[in-house]
Amino acid sequence: MMEKLSNEDLQRRFHDVEENLKVIRENIAEAAARAGKSASDITLLAATKTVPVEVINHSIELGVDHIGENRVQELNEKYESYNLERCELHFIGHLQLNKVKYLIGRVAMIQSVDSEKLAAEISRLSAKKGVTTDVLLEVNIGKEPNKSGVMPELLPELVEKVSLLPNIRVRGLMAIPPANASETETMNFFLRMNQYFVDIKHKKTDNVSMDWLSMGMSADYTQAILAGANLVRVGTALYGPRIYVKKH
Ligand SMILES: *Cc1c(COP(=O)(O)O)cnc(C)c1O
Protein backbone atom coordinates (compact mmCIF):
# COMPACT_ATOMS: atom_id res chain seq x y z
CA MET A 1 0.00 0.00 0.00
CA MET A 2 2.82 2.41 0.83
CA GLU A 3 6.17 2.82 -0.82
CA LYS A 4 9.40 1.94 0.93
CA LEU A 5 12.09 4.40 -0.04
CA SER A 6 15.89 4.38 0.07
CA ASN A 7 17.59 7.31 1.72
CA GLU A 8 18.55 8.75 -1.64
CA ASP A 9 14.98 8.45 -2.90
CA LEU A 10 13.74 10.13 0.26
CA GLN A 11 16.05 13.14 -0.20
CA ARG A 12 14.81 13.48 -3.78
CA ARG A 13 11.18 13.27 -2.64
CA PHE A 14 11.83 15.89 0.08
CA HIS A 15 13.30 18.23 -2.52
CA ASP A 16 10.39 17.70 -4.94
CA VAL A 17 7.86 18.39 -2.19
CA GLU A 18 9.64 21.65 -1.34
CA GLU A 19 9.54 22.80 -4.97
CA ASN A 20 5.95 21.67 -5.48
CA LEU A 21 4.76 23.33 -2.30
CA LYS A 22 6.23 26.67 -3.40
CA VAL A 23 4.34 26.50 -6.69
CA ILE A 24 1.09 25.49 -4.99
CA ARG A 25 1.39 28.31 -2.46
CA GLU A 26 1.95 30.80 -5.29
CA ASN A 27 -1.03 29.47 -7.22
CA ILE A 28 -3.20 29.63 -4.10
CA ALA A 29 -2.14 33.22 -3.38
CA GLU A 30 -2.86 34.26 -6.95
CA ALA A 31 -6.28 32.57 -7.05
CA ALA A 32 -7.15 33.98 -3.62
CA ALA A 33 -6.30 37.49 -4.81
CA ARG A 34 -8.50 37.02 -7.87
CA ALA A 35 -11.29 35.88 -5.57
CA GLY A 36 -10.84 39.00 -3.43
CA LYS A 37 -9.30 37.07 -0.56
CA SER A 38 -5.88 36.73 0.96
CA ALA A 39 -3.77 33.58 0.81
CA SER A 40 -4.33 33.03 4.52
CA ASP A 41 -8.07 32.66 3.89
CA ILE A 42 -7.36 29.47 1.97
CA THR A 43 -6.31 26.27 3.73
CA LEU A 44 -4.22 23.73 1.90
CA LEU A 45 -4.90 20.16 2.92
CA ALA A 46 -2.33 17.64 1.70
CA ALA A 47 -4.02 14.45 0.46
CA THR A 48 -1.57 11.83 1.69
CA LYS A 49 -2.83 8.48 0.39
CA THR A 50 0.07 6.17 -0.59
CA VAL A 51 2.61 8.78 0.58
CA PRO A 52 5.24 7.46 3.03
CA VAL A 53 5.04 9.02 6.49
CA GLU A 54 8.60 10.40 6.22
CA VAL A 55 7.53 12.44 3.21
CA ILE A 56 4.30 13.54 4.90
CA ASN A 57 6.20 14.65 8.00
CA HIS A 58 8.64 16.56 5.82
CA SER A 59 5.76 18.50 4.27
CA ILE A 60 4.48 19.23 7.79
CA GLU A 61 7.93 20.63 8.66
CA LEU A 62 7.57 22.88 5.62
CA GLY A 63 4.36 24.30 7.07
CA VAL A 64 1.58 22.04 5.80
CA ASP A 65 -0.87 22.07 8.70
CA HIS A 66 -3.72 19.94 7.37
CA ILE A 67 -3.39 16.41 6.01
CA GLY A 68 -6.08 14.01 4.86
CA GLU A 69 -6.20 10.25 4.46
CA ASN A 70 -8.93 8.49 2.56
CA ARG A 71 -8.57 4.90 3.72
CA VAL A 72 -9.08 3.87 7.33
CA GLN A 73 -6.64 0.98 7.16
CA GLU A 74 -3.86 3.17 5.80
CA LEU A 75 -4.60 5.83 8.41
CA ASN A 76 -4.37 3.19 11.14
CA GLU A 77 -1.02 1.96 9.85
CA LYS A 78 0.46 5.44 9.69
CA TYR A 79 -1.26 7.01 12.69
CA GLU A 80 1.44 6.60 15.33
CA SER A 81 4.09 8.01 12.97
CA TYR A 82 2.47 11.27 11.84
CA ASN A 83 3.86 14.39 13.48
CA LEU A 84 0.54 15.97 14.45
CA GLU A 85 1.80 18.55 16.94
CA ARG A 86 1.15 21.39 14.51
CA CYS A 87 -1.02 19.60 11.99
CA GLU A 88 -4.65 18.49 11.78
CA LEU A 89 -5.48 15.05 10.45
CA HIS A 90 -8.72 14.79 8.46
CA PHE A 91 -10.51 11.80 7.00
CA ILE A 92 -11.54 12.49 3.40
CA GLY A 93 -12.55 9.11 1.93
CA HIS A 94 -15.63 6.94 1.81
CA LEU A 95 -16.40 5.71 5.32
CA GLN A 96 -18.15 2.48 6.30
CA LEU A 97 -20.18 2.36 9.51
CA ASN A 98 -18.00 -0.37 11.04
CA LYS A 99 -14.83 1.73 10.55
CA VAL A 100 -16.04 4.86 12.33
CA LYS A 101 -14.62 3.58 15.63
CA TYR A 102 -11.05 3.96 14.33
CA LEU A 103 -11.48 7.67 13.64
CA ILE A 104 -13.29 9.07 16.68
CA GLY A 105 -10.93 11.04 18.90
CA ARG A 106 -8.16 10.65 16.33
CA VAL A 107 -9.13 12.89 13.44
CA ALA A 108 -9.94 16.58 13.67
CA MET A 109 -12.58 16.31 10.96
CA ILE A 110 -14.43 13.75 8.87
CA GLN A 111 -15.08 15.38 5.49
CA SER A 112 -17.13 12.61 3.95
CA VAL A 113 -20.44 12.35 5.84
CA ASP A 114 -23.20 11.61 3.36
CA SER A 115 -25.99 9.88 5.28
CA GLU A 116 -27.95 10.21 8.48
CA LYS A 117 -26.90 6.68 9.41
CA LEU A 118 -23.22 7.53 9.22
CA ALA A 119 -23.75 10.79 11.13
CA ALA A 120 -25.69 8.91 13.82
CA GLU A 121 -22.85 6.41 14.25
CA ILE A 122 -20.29 9.24 14.51
CA SER A 123 -22.57 10.92 17.06
CA ARG A 124 -23.01 7.75 19.10
CA LEU A 125 -19.32 6.86 19.28
CA SER A 126 -18.31 10.48 19.92
CA ALA A 127 -20.73 10.67 22.86
CA LYS A 128 -19.32 7.42 24.19
CA LYS A 129 -15.81 8.91 24.06
CA GLY A 130 -16.93 12.26 25.43
CA VAL A 131 -15.82 14.21 22.35
CA THR A 132 -17.51 16.25 19.66
CA THR A 133 -16.56 15.39 16.08
CA ASP A 134 -16.49 18.03 13.37
CA VAL A 135 -17.75 16.89 9.99
CA LEU A 136 -18.35 18.15 6.49
CA LEU A 137 -21.29 16.89 4.47
CA GLU A 138 -20.16 15.43 1.18
CA VAL A 139 -22.36 16.29 -1.79
CA ASN A 140 -22.57 14.17 -4.94
CA ILE A 141 -22.61 17.35 -6.98
CA GLY A 142 -22.48 15.57 -10.34
CA LYS A 143 -25.28 13.18 -9.27
CA GLU A 144 -23.09 10.28 -10.36
CA PRO A 145 -24.43 6.79 -9.68
CA ASN A 146 -22.16 4.67 -7.45
CA LYS A 147 -20.37 7.72 -6.08
CA SER A 148 -20.28 8.86 -2.45
CA GLY A 149 -22.05 11.98 -1.36
CA VAL A 150 -25.61 13.01 -0.64
CA MET A 151 -27.68 14.00 -3.66
CA PRO A 152 -28.01 17.79 -3.77
CA GLU A 153 -31.80 17.73 -3.42
CA LEU A 154 -31.47 15.75 -0.17
CA LEU A 155 -28.81 18.03 1.32
CA PRO A 156 -31.13 20.43 3.23
CA GLU A 157 -32.86 17.47 4.90
CA LEU A 158 -29.50 15.91 5.86
CA VAL A 159 -28.31 19.21 7.35
CA GLU A 160 -31.46 19.38 9.50
CA LYS A 161 -31.16 15.78 10.68
CA VAL A 162 -27.46 15.95 11.55
CA SER A 163 -27.99 19.24 13.36
CA LEU A 164 -30.24 17.43 15.85
CA LEU A 165 -27.62 14.82 16.78
CA PRO A 166 -25.40 15.31 19.85
CA ASN A 167 -21.57 15.25 19.78
CA ILE A 168 -21.33 15.96 16.06
CA ARG A 169 -21.03 19.39 14.47
CA VAL A 170 -21.50 20.26 10.80
CA ARG A 171 -18.72 22.64 9.78
CA GLY A 172 -19.27 22.85 6.03
CA LEU A 173 -19.49 21.00 2.74
CA MET A 174 -17.20 18.87 0.60
CA ALA A 175 -17.50 17.77 -3.02
CA ILE A 176 -15.61 16.03 -5.80
CA PRO A 177 -16.99 16.92 -9.25
CA PRO A 178 -17.12 14.20 -11.93
CA ALA A 179 -13.65 13.25 -13.17
CA ASN A 180 -14.63 13.51 -16.81
CA ALA A 181 -16.21 16.98 -16.63
CA SER A 182 -14.88 19.78 -18.83
CA GLU A 183 -13.30 22.82 -17.23
CA THR A 184 -16.52 24.80 -17.71
CA GLU A 185 -18.68 22.03 -16.28
CA THR A 186 -16.34 21.67 -13.30
CA MET A 187 -16.56 25.42 -12.66
CA ASN A 188 -20.35 25.20 -12.75
CA PHE A 189 -20.32 22.35 -10.22
CA PHE A 190 -18.06 24.40 -7.95
CA LEU A 191 -20.33 27.45 -8.27
CA ARG A 192 -23.38 25.35 -7.47
CA MET A 193 -21.63 24.02 -4.36
CA ASN A 194 -20.88 27.58 -3.31
CA GLN A 195 -24.55 28.43 -3.69
CA TYR A 196 -25.58 25.54 -1.40
CA PHE A 197 -22.89 26.63 1.06
CA VAL A 198 -24.19 30.22 1.14
CA ASP A 199 -27.85 29.12 1.32
CA ILE A 200 -27.22 26.84 4.31
CA LYS A 201 -25.09 29.50 6.00
CA HIS A 202 -27.96 31.99 5.75
CA LYS A 203 -30.40 29.56 7.38
CA LYS A 204 -28.39 29.74 10.63
CA THR A 205 -29.32 26.26 11.80
CA ASP A 206 -28.32 25.43 15.40
CA ASN A 207 -25.19 23.31 15.61
CA VAL A 208 -24.34 24.00 11.94
CA SER A 209 -21.60 26.47 11.05
CA MET A 210 -20.67 26.79 7.42
CA ASP A 211 -16.97 27.49 7.94
CA TRP A 212 -15.45 25.21 5.33
CA LEU A 213 -16.12 24.71 1.66
CA SER A 214 -13.79 21.85 0.74
CA MET A 215 -13.37 21.43 -3.00
CA GLY A 216 -10.63 21.45 -5.59
CA MET A 217 -7.84 18.91 -6.13
CA SER A 218 -4.55 18.99 -8.03
CA ALA A 219 -6.16 19.59 -11.41
CA ASP A 220 -8.61 22.28 -10.38
CA TYR A 221 -7.85 23.87 -7.01
CA THR A 222 -7.37 27.36 -8.43
CA GLN A 223 -10.78 27.16 -10.13
CA ALA A 224 -12.32 25.94 -6.89
CA ILE A 225 -10.85 28.91 -5.02
CA LEU A 226 -12.32 31.28 -7.62
CA ALA A 227 -15.71 29.65 -6.99
CA GLY A 228 -15.46 30.11 -3.20
CA ALA A 229 -13.55 27.12 -1.82
CA ASN A 230 -11.51 27.88 1.31
CA LEU A 231 -10.11 24.37 1.76
CA VAL A 232 -8.41 22.62 -1.14
CA ARG A 233 -7.27 19.00 -1.06
CA VAL A 234 -4.10 18.51 -3.08
CA GLY A 235 -2.22 15.23 -3.51
CA THR A 236 -0.45 14.62 -6.80
CA ALA A 237 0.61 18.22 -7.37
CA LEU A 238 2.40 18.15 -4.01
CA TYR A 239 3.74 14.61 -3.71
CA GLY A 240 3.98 13.51 -7.34
CA PRO A 241 2.13 10.62 -8.98
CA ARG A 242 0.86 7.99 -6.60
CA ILE A 243 2.66 4.65 -6.62
CA TYR A 244 0.48 1.83 -5.38
CA VAL A 245 2.49 -1.03 -3.94
CA LYS A 246 0.92 -4.46 -3.43
CA LYS A 247 1.10 -5.84 0.07
CA HIS A 248 2.88 -9.14 0.58
C1 LIG B 1 -6.72 11.72 -3.45
C2 LIG B 1 -7.73 12.72 -3.06
C3 LIG B 1 -7.53 14.09 -3.32
C4 LIG B 1 -6.31 14.63 -4.04
O5 LIG B 1 -6.31 14.23 -5.37
P6 LIG B 1 -5.14 14.75 -6.35
O7 LIG B 1 -5.78 14.74 -7.69
O8 LIG B 1 -4.03 13.79 -6.24
O9 LIG B 1 -4.76 16.11 -5.92
C10 LIG B 1 -8.50 14.97 -2.90
N11 LIG B 1 -9.62 14.55 -2.27
C12 LIG B 1 -9.86 13.26 -2.01
C13 LIG B 1 -11.10 12.88 -1.31
C14 LIG B 1 -8.91 12.30 -2.39
O15 LIG B 1 -9.15 11.01 -2.12
Q: How far is CA 16 from CA 23, 93, 96, 98, 221, in A?
A: 11, 25, 34, 37, 19
Look at ligand 1, atom 10, and give the residue with the nearest C-alpha.
Answer: 233
User: Nearest-CA neighbor of 150 among 132, 170, 164?
Assistant: 170
Instruction: Note the CATH architecture for domain 7-239.
Output: Alpha-Beta Barrel (3.20)
Distance 204 CA to ligand 1 centre (A): 30
Q: What does the domain layout of the chain look like in residue ranges?
A: 7-239
pLDDT at 247: 54
Q: Which of 70, 113, 232 to mutate to test the pocket of ligand 1 (most atoms within 8 A of CB)?
A: 70
Ligand 1 atom closest to the Cα of residue 174 is: 13
User: What distance in angstroms lies between residue 17's CA and the mean position of ligand 1's atoms?
Assistant: 16
Q: pLDDT, tens digit, for every residue of 6-57?
A: 899 999 999 999 999 999 999 999 999 999 999 999 999 999 999 999 999 9
The pTM score is 0.96
Question: Best substitution site from 44, 71, 92, 141 to test ligand 1's pocket, by max atoms within 8 Å of Cβ?
Answer: 92
